[in-house]
Each structure stands twice: as structure tokens, then as C-alpha cells.
Amino acid sequence: MTQTMSIDESRIDRDWWKEAVVYQIYPRSFNDSDGDGVGDIPGITERVDYLDDLGVDVVWLCPVYDSPNHDNGYDIRDYRAIMDEFGDMADWERLRDALHDRDMKIIMDLVVNHTSNEHEWFQRSRREEGEYADYYHWVEGSPDEPPNNWESLFGGPAWSYDEERGAWYLHVFNENQPDLNWRNPDVRTAVTDVVTWWLDRGIDGFRMDAISHLSKPEGYPDGDPDEHGPLGSEHYTLGPRLGEYLDELGAVIPDEAMTAGEMGGASAADAREYIERGDCLDMVFHFDHLGVDQGGDWTGDDWGEWSLPEFKELMTRNQREVARETWEALFLGNHDHPRIVSRFGDEAYRRESAKLVGTFLLTMRGTPYLYQGQEIGMTNTEFESLEEVDDAMTVGIVEDLLADGAVDSFDEVRTAVNYRSRDHARTPMQWAAADRADFTDGDPWLALNDNYTDVNVEDAVADTESVWNHYRRLIELRREDPALVYGDYELLAPEDEQIYAYTRHLDGERRLVVCNWSAEPATFESDGVAASDAEVLIGNYDSAPSDPVDAQFRPFEAAVYEY
């Protein structure tokens, strides 16, 4: 490959975070240093060299703040303190320094749509103490009748009655996660203070949780039963003042910081609109492409059916409407979604399909996000009963269905739970074939996936042909090749049901990516691309077809060419 290729700087808008690869850590499940069965910050610090060897540039640390853990840290009791189970602020500072010493950056999870109901703000608010009285969405009325028909994203009504205050409060998520009232300027100031406090501690940016839900309309109008999603979500998603609130947040975040907003319910066009609007969001996690395989409801058994042409259409829309015009967060999984290999790959071709997904994510336009375990091809686990599930979303939704009489037993939701549970992603990281996968010396807080004897870091690092080593090489390739970061994306053969192929062009530099996204051999119809004279940059089988045009690709074979 043309090393150090020259880029016409006037054509691209360079930023460090566009050229970065992000690694997401769910601390509870990453590495336990003190034997209590729960991952912790010193455990992460022990593994910083591991991350450096893999070659990632940024760590996104899921919440480590003080929390009663109804939603594993996404219910924050104190924004300025570290959860006891995870360590203390000195541990956090050591982690930050260990990352910075190795030229890696750290971004923190900013969870400010809601707090924990144990947060001091909520405690004071329910007692109607001074300025705090109006910090949350309170509505008075009969304890028998919630203010409107809104449903929570985690099952059941979005309102709970607080006996102490004698009023209803809003929670888009769990009842332990009351929504902050962003209409109140004091709340916005309190939040920007938190943002500044963390920036002052030397962090490099934020992943912003549930940012699409910050604004709720005056009067809390009823939800329309004909709308898609939980009742009322059309009102509490992308609400009327969201842009204004984001502008205020953006005003206290320096330009060089990286910001990625999670926007459930946003289309590609919405994502682009909020990125383009100002300087708050560099990129957005939006989820249309992850809807491709969703079953209708939790009692259905059609989960996991998806078609490659539809997936290509969704990804291509994201590339054209968001990535090309602004920037894109590239991801196929995170702590809220099943394992990528089990979902978009094929466990029968675990190694090949895990490498294919890596090839895909690391050769699209945008910033790739890897979720812990993805780099070794970790897979889903199996749940036999609701008792085995920790995930507040799954438990909330299933308990609500049981309470309503919509289902009588776990069996009726078994397929959906095993397909959708967020716990698949939260089983502990598999470090070695040793006892308890070397994740902990104690009892892991969530059961390990049994396959840790075959799928683990120690073996993967030692094996030059492993998924891990493939990821490492892909990250290196991307780092050396601006065409893979900034190049224009063009989809080839959109209707092909097995092959996902595309080109990336930048200033005369041309790359071609061919993925056989199926368990059967497939021929790459070139779709007019003159790639006969191609050079293989990387492939996931021992040798990729040297002339890709009309060549056969093996099951889940993926290769990147310069042509």
C-alpha cells in the first residue's frame, strides 16, 4: 500500500476523534482486581497494556459513579464520586494517567437525562426543598391515576407516585431513575457544572447517555396508540427544546473534546440535524440499522430474521446521510445489545464471521466503536429463567407482561429474552481458560459464558490467526490509510443477498471491501468496478482471491483491496 499517502487537506476536515478507534468498557464485567466478583477500576488499569497492544485510541468508560445499581451505574447517586465497588477517585486518576501515558484518551459516560432516586437532588426535590422542588417532572393528582398514558422504555407506566411528596414523577427508564426537569434553568446549570467538573479532571470527552430524551413537551400530552414504540415516546423523544439544551451543553465543552450522543429513536436525518446544529455533538449513536432483525413483540418468535439487502440499505443511508455530510459513530453492538457474532455473524463460523464484522466496521466512514469481548469474538449465552437475568430492561418488560396477564410463563418470552437481553453483552470478559476465566477470584456477579475455555484473551493473543490478531491488524491498517477513514463510500451490488461490497475513494486512492456475509460460498459480481489489478491489504482467510472480480468468496470471507 502507498504508505504515508498525501491527502488533500482542503477536501477533508481532519479531527483526532475521526481517526480514532474507540474501545468501550463496561467496568462491572471487565476485570476484577479484589476478588469480590465485580470488575473495578484497578482491574481496568491492570489491562491498559492489553488495550495498547490491541491498538485502540480511546476508552469509553461506562458509568463508574456512585450508584445503587438498579441499572448498573446508569442510575447515578453522586456525579462527583466513584462507586465503592469500583474503587475511589485516586484509582480513577491512576487509570486516566495510565491511559494518557500510553497516548490513549478517556471519555466518560454522561448520564443526565435522569439521576438515581437516591441522588440528593431527588431526595430534596421530593421534600420540596427550595430550588430543588422543581428539579424533576412532578405532577399532582390522584394516586390512582397517572398524569397521562406514557409508558416507560423499561416496561410499565412512565410515572410513579411518590407518597412522600404526594405527587407523580416521570421516569422514561426504571422507576429508580427519575427524569431531570431540563426546563428548569437551575437543572441545566447543575448539569453543566458536572460537565465542567469532569473536564477539569483531564478527560477527553463524553459519551452522552439517552440524550434524545432530555426535552418533554409542556402539558405532557397523551401518547398516540398508533405511533411506534412505547406509548408517549413520540413526545419524550427528540422533544421541542432538545436542540436548545444541547447548545447549552456544547457551550461548556471545548472543541477539541470528543462527544458522541446516544439518540434512541432518532433517524439518520435526525442524527445529522443534531450534529449539524452546533458544536455539542461530534457524532451520534442512532439505531435504525439495529432494528433490522427485531421481532414484533416480546411474545413473538421471529427475532433475528434479517436480510442483507435491507441491512445494506440502512447502513448505506447512514453512510450517505450522516457519515458523508457530518460524521458517524460506527457500531453493531454495545452493553445494551447482544453479542455481534451471535447476532450478525454465525457461531458455526465464529472466527470468520467475527473477523468479517471487524473488517466491515473498521473500513467504513466514521469512528469505529468496539465493545469489550468483540475483539476475541465473544458470543451470547443462554437464559433458562428470568432469575438468571439481571438486566433491568428485560426484567422490567417481562414482569410487566406477566403482571398484565399478556404472558403466563417465561417460556412464552424465552425466544425474545434469549435474543434481546442486554446481559449477553455483560457476561464477564474472558481473559484465560483458567478458573473463572481469570476475570475474578471470587463469584462473578453474572455467570460466565461456558465457552471461556475456547474463547479467551490469552489464547487469542498467542494465536497469530485469531480474531484478536485480525482486529489488531485492521486497526493498524486503518491508522495508516486515510482512505479508510475519510474516503467516500459507494455501495456495490445493493441487491446481492450474500455479498456486501463497497469502495472507499480518497484523492485517487481506491479501496475495495468485499464481504461474503453468508455461510455459503458466493461470487463477487464486480458491478462495473475495474478491480482486476488489485492488491490484497488484508483478508480473513489464509489467502484472499487475488483478483476479486467474479471470484468466489468462502463463507464469511472478507477482504480489503487497493485497486
Active site residues: 209, 262
Cβ 173 to ligand GLC shortest distance, Å: 5
Which residue number is nearest to ligand GLC in terms of Cβ?
A: 74
| Site map (CB under 6 A) of ligand GLC, residues 480-519, x = contact | ----------------------------------------
Q: How many residues bind ligand GLC (CB under 6 A)?
A: 9
Give the Å distances, CA to CA, from 128 to 75, 164, 167: 21, 10, 11
Quote the CA–CA distance of 340 and 372 in Å, as a whole number.
11
Residue number with CB closer to ligand GLC (356 or 429): 429
* Contact call for residue 179 and ligand GLC (CB under 6 A): no
Cβ 547 to ligand GLC shortest distance, Å: 44
* Contact call for residue 210 and ligand GLC (CB under 6 A): yes
* Contact call for residue 323 and ligand GLC (CB under 6 A): no
Cβ 42 to ligand GLC shortest distance, Å: 23
Q: Which three cell numbers stand for residue 377?
A: 469474538
Residue number with CB closer to ligand GLC (210 or 332): 210
For the chain, the residue count is 563
Cβ 172 to ligand GLC shortest distance, Å: 8
DSSP, res 365: S
Q: CB-based burial of residue 134 (10 Å sphere; 0-12 exposed, 13-18 middle, 19+ buried)?
A: middle
How do strand 509-516 and strand 558-562 relate by DSSP bridges? antiparallel
Q: CB-based burial of residue 552 (10 Å sphere; 0-12 exposed, 13-18 middle, 19+ buried)?
A: exposed
Q: Are 146 and 244 in contact (CB under 8 A)?
A: no
* Contact call for residue 336 and ligand GLC (CB under 6 A): yes
Residue number with CB closer to ligand GLC (107 or 560): 107
Residue number with CB closer to ligand GLC (209 or 270): 209
Q: Which three cell numbers stand for residue 70?
A: 438498579
Residue number with CB closer to ligand GLC (52 or 399): 399
* Contact call for residue 290 and ligand GLC (CB under 6 A): no
Quote the CA–CA distance of 320 and 312 in Å, as a whole number.
12
Residue from 32, 40, 66, 71 in contact with ligand GLC (CB under 6 A):
71
Cβ 421 to ligand GLC shortest distance, Å: 12
Cβ 59 to ligand GLC shortest distance, Å: 16
Among residues 117, 154, 148, the alpha carbon closest in space to that of 399 is found at 154
Residues 106-125 that bind ligand GLC (CB under 6 A): 111
Three-class SS state of 199: helix
Three-class SS state of 23: strand
* Contact call for residue 173 and ligand GLC (CB under 6 A): yes
* Contact call for residue 438 and ligand GLC (CB under 6 A): no
Q: Are 404 and 368 in contact (CB under 8 A)?
A: no
* Contact call for residue 209 and ligand GLC (CB under 6 A): yes
Residue number with CB closer to ligand GLC (425 or 467): 425
Q: What are phi and psi of 337, to 5 degrees?
A: -135, 160
Enclosing H/E stretch for 522? strand 522-523
Residue from 74, 159, 206, 553 in contact with ligand GLC (CB under 6 A):
74
Q: Which three cell numbers stand for residue 259?
A: 462527544
Strand partners, 558: 515
Residue number with CB closer to ligand GLC (40 or 209): 209
Cβ 170 to ligand GLC shortest distance, Å: 14
Residue number with CB closer to ligand GLC (396 or 545): 396
* Contact call for residue 60 and ligand GLC (CB under 6 A): no
Quote the CA–CA distance of 545 and 563 in Å, as a whole number.
13
DSSP, res 173: S
CA angle 360, 365, 367 (to 5 degrees): 90
Residues 225-254 that bind ligand GLC (CB under 6 A): none
Give the Å distances, CA to CA, from 324 to 21, 65, 345, 507, 520: 18, 36, 26, 15, 32
Radius of gyration of the chain (CA): 23
Cβ 329 to ligand GLC shortest distance, Å: 13
Cβ 46 to ligand GLC shortest distance, Å: 25
Q: Are 397 and 343 in contact (CB under 8 A)?
A: no
Among residues 332, 334, 327, the alpha carbon closest in space to that of 282 is found at 327
Q: What are phi and psi of 136, to 5 degrees?
A: -130, 175
Residue number with CB closer to ligand GLC (396 or 539): 396
Quote the CA–CA distance of 209 and 198 in Å, as a whole number.
15
250 CB neighbour count, 10 Å cutoff: 18
Residues near ligand GLC (CB under 6 A) are: 71, 74, 111, 173, 209-210, 262, 335-336
